Amino acid sequence: MAMLDVADKPQAATFAADKVQSGAPDPVTGYRDFTLGAFRFSRDAYFATIQWPVNGQFRTHAIPADAFLRAMMRDVAWGFFYGWVNFDHVFGTRNHYGKVDMYAGAFNGVMKDAGVDYTETFDTPVIMATFKAILHDWTNEGFDPFAAPEETGSAFGHKHGDNAAAIERTRIATRRMPGLPDDSPLRDDLPVNRAFLDVAQDEPAVHVEPCFEGQLHAFNLFKYLSRSDVTWNPSVTSVCGQSLFCPTTEEFILPVFHGNDRVEWFLQLSDEIVWDIGDKNTGSPRARITMRAGDICAMPADIRHQGYSTKRSMLLVWENATPNLPKRYESGELKPYPVEF
């Protein structure tokens, strides 16, 4: 989201396509294997399998193919996001903004203590190109990793076709606000989602005093969100200095456990999301939060979180893009929480 789809940000992936290491399609499943550093990736009808070396042996971890592709889609689309993107309790990436760590077990307290974790650091274009190549090869026709499970076909089975259109969906790159001249469109051409049929679709009337023409703008955010065709994909929708409002529509499970490198604010705009909050380093549970429409909550800088939304809901994620925040939190200059009571 915020890291990648701000207008004018260069698309790193195109620069390193020649660095992707992959094998020939498997004669039975049709899927290619991939290698990145000492990590190996393979998929079969049901699972993505990751291997990494520890003490002269290879360790293996399997993730259901649909969950793996949903997580990888977010990591790619968000340009590795802020901080940590945990695909699950074992595997993930950490963004160093120019370089990216890929790890297995390094942020799982039990595996770390057992010494079976592994981390390797890559230049962003190389890991981006590899992740994109995996997504393209492993996503079958009819499966959309951004869609809610009820709105997409299956990820499983031997390789059949592809879905480049879903993976390469044009990113919404808002400069100031949707609907302004030369800015992102208001989604009038997308249908209202089945969960939001009761959302009013009228736009506000804007009456501008003489001399202020072209300087005042408003749009119906609920209508805009009711027409989102993707889930768990906060898109920069208003930019005010370093303050980014990134609303999103949510259904089923956030496909990653996001580990924060700064404080984020959540404002629940409709319906309900339950959040599991864990320790950022070990994953051990810290809290469970139910957010209902109108609730606001600050996610501290030292946690990871994953959300659950049974009915598609609207959430505003408020991001702080101030440069150097990760260092200021890590050094202790800033407390991990935003308010002292």
The answer to whether the beta carbons of residues 29 and 159 sit under 8 Å apart is yes
Interaction between residue 270 and ligand PHB (CB under 6 A): no
Q: Which partner from the list ligand PHB, Fe ion, none does 179 bind, CB cut-off 5 to 8 Å by kind? A: none
The answer to whether the beta carbons of residues 167 and 136 sit under 8 Å apart is yes
Calpha distance 94→80 (Å, rounded): 7
What's the gap between Cα 274 and its chain centre? 17
Look up tokens 């702080």; give the residue: 320
Interaction between residue 248 and ligand PHB (CB under 6 A): yes
In order, the DSSP letters of 205-253 are P----TT-TTS-----HHHHHHT---SS-----EEETTEEEEEEEEEEE
In the complex, what is the shortest distance from the CB of residue 196 to Fe ion, in angstroms, rounded to a whole number? 23
Interaction between residue 258 and ligand PHB (CB under 6 A): yes
Of 116, 127, 135, 254, the one binding ligand PHB by CB under 6 A: 254
In the complex, what is the shortest distance from the CB of residue 247 to ligand PHB, in angstroms, rounded to a whole number? 9
Interaction between residue 303 and ligand PHB (CB under 6 A): no
Q: Which stretch binds Fe ion (CB under 5 A): 3-11, 143-151, 243-251, 260-268?
A: 260-268
Interaction between residue 250 and ligand PHB (CB under 6 A): yes
Based on CB atoms, which residue is closest to Fe ion, 35 or 281?
A: 281
Q: How many residues bind Fe ion (CB under 5 A)?
A: 2
Q: Which residue is nearest to Fe ion (CB)?
A: 258
Interaction between residue 258 and Fe ion (CB under 5 A): yes
Calpha distance 49→72 (Å, rounded): 13
User: Nearest to residue 287, comparing CAs of 272, 279, 276, 296?
Assistant: 276
Which CA distances in Å does 104 have to 60, 130, 282, 291? 10, 17, 12, 31
Interaction between residue 92 and ligand PHB (CB under 6 A): no
Task: Give residues in contact with ligand PHB (CB under 6 A).
Answer: 232, 234, 248, 250, 254, 258, 264, 315, 317
Task: Give residues in contact with Fe ion (CB under 5 A).
Answer: 258, 264
